[in-house]
Amino acid sequence: MINRIYLHFAVVLVFLTLGWIPYAFTAEFHDEIVRDYTVKTLGQLQIANLRGGIVVQGWALDRIRVTAKRRAVAASAEEARKLFTALDFRYRNLGGGVELSAEYGKGLEIQDRLREREQPHTSMEMVVQAPARMKLSVWAVDGVVSVKNWNESVDVRTSKGSVLIQDVKAKLVSLVCPECQAVIREARGGSLRMMGGTESVEVETFEGDQVYIETSTGNQTLSHVSGEQLYVSKSGKIAGRNMKGRIEFQSQKGGVSFLDSSGFVSGRTESGDIQVRMREWRFFDKALIESSKGTVKLALPAQFSGEIDLWSVSGKTSNVFSVRGSKEKGIYGPEPLNHIRGRVGDGGEQLKLFSQDGDVALERYL
């Protein structure tokens, strides 16, 4: 074990006031401990830290190195040393797997442990280097979480903060965080599942089979994502570029755009605008792109073929493709000018664009 202590006064002033008169002075102290463990079997690695960040780096060695960067707020170096004695982490072998967890209040009486929990003076960042072939589970609360260079499944659960998952090859990448700013970068494998919330979510390059991303007010920014995809948002924007595969979306108020993409797009939003530009189009099923109050614009390649149904109830409808019109009539007679139906090219599956109040346009991708 390596124990590097560098207590210092890179000082934080904390004024506990009685009226306006400060009566207490505290400083921030730091130290670092490093421990190595031999890994006998490459099972699951579980890491938990409820008061600080977790950084995980995959490597090829069959051992785990844990670097604990500890922090204490105290009135003196002596008091800080006492706090550090109660701040450690636990390493346990669990039937083919390993559990790493930060321990706060180690060795303290129950009253002191509860007091420390209510008014915490310590925290820890755990930096873990481990075999990249272990299944990884990370539990945090509000610290920074980072996972890099991993070759097995990754499951991250936290409440808020920031999350980065990068250079991962896995059957499953799963992230659940209601208040996290999250980034997935350079990942590939089976499935990507992200349950976000109020903060932004970004995916930059994911090659896989299935993608599911959900936010409430947080924006979703996507690029170079492939597979069977579903994006869900309450009011955050959904914006993708250079996407590939079957793309579906559901939104209440957020705008939606998929640009310079290939494959298939279908979905609806209540009030946001929809803009889709596809360099290639391939039907996976019938396609419906709908906004109740917003505009709908779809640009398709010149060689597109299909049965189109374009309709804006209160807005304008436009189309640049040659259409062989349907002989069917509406229930009240001939279709109005803002409802265009018919066959484009050799025909095929149905493509329907609809807006209650906004304009609808079918354009050519240039």
DSSP per-residue string spanning 323-363: -EE----BTTBSPPTTEEEEEETT--SEEEEEESSS-EEEE
Lowest-confidence pick of 91-105, 170-184, 289-303 = 91-105
- Does the pLDDT at position 155 exceed 50? yes
pLDDT value for 143: 87
Q: How confident is the model at residue 327 (pLDDT cuts 50, 70, 90)?
A: very low
**What CA dihedral angle connects 302, 305, 306 and 308, to 10 degrees?**
30
Q: Over 80: is that where the pLDDT of 308 sits?
A: yes
The better pLDDT of the pair 236, 111 is held by 236
Q: Which residue has better confidence, 8 or 249?
A: 249
Cβ neighbours around 40 below 10 Å, total: 10
User: Is there a contact between 244 and 261 (Cβ–Cβ < 8 Å)?
Assistant: yes
The per-residue pLDDT for 325 is 72
User: For a pLDDT cut of 90, what percent of the chain falls above it?
Assistant: 74
- Assign 23 a pLDDT band (cuts: 50, 70, 90): very low
Polymer length of the chain: 366
- At residue 80, the pLDDT reads 85
Q: For the CA atoms of the chain, what is the radius of gyration?
A: 27
Quick one: how many helices (H) and strands (E) in the chain? 2, 29
Residues 3-16 have a mean pLDDT of 41
What pLDDT, in 10s, does the model give residues 120-141? 778 899 999 999 999 999 999 9
Rounded to 5°, angle at Cα 97 from 94 and 100: 80
> Is-contact 357 269, C-beta < 8 A?
no
Helix locations, the chain, DSSP H: 77-85, 110-118
Percentage of the chain beyond pLDDT 70 is 86
**Confidence tier at 9 by pLDDT (50, 70, 90):** very low
Looking at residue 299, its pLDDT comes to: 98
- Residue type at 309? D
Q: Residue 110 — pLDDT band, cuts 50, 70, 90?
A: low
* Residue 114: CB atoms within 10 Å: 12
More confident residue, 87 or 173: 173
Please give the mean pLDDT across all residues of the chain: 88
Whether residue 15 is predicted with pLDDT greater than 60 in this model: the reply is: no
More confident residue, 71 or 274: 274
Output the six-digit token pair for 151.
């070759």
What's residue 198's pLDDT? 95
Residues 6+ apart with CB under 8 A from 20: none
Which has the closest alpha carbon to 101: 40, 146, 50?
Answer: 50
The answer to whether residue 99 scores a pLDDT higher than 50 is yes
The answer to whether residue 4 scores a pLDDT higher than 70 is: no
Mean pLDDT to the nearest integer, 334-349 = 86
- Render pLDDT for 47-77 as a digit per residue (tens, 0 to 9): 999 989 999 999 999 999 999 999 988 888 8
pTM of the model: 0.87
pLDDT at residue 326, as a whole number: 59
CB 106 within 8 A of CB 88: yes
User: CA angle, 64 as apex, 60 and 68 as ends, to 5°?
Assistant: 130
DSSP calls for 89-148: EEEEEETTEEEEEEEESTT--HHHHHHHHHS--EEEEEEEEEETTSEEEEEESSS-EEEE
Pairing state between β 97-104 and 87-94: antiparallel
pLDDT at residue 29 is higher than 90: yes
Average pLDDT over residues 252-266: 96
Average pLDDT over residues 90-115: 79
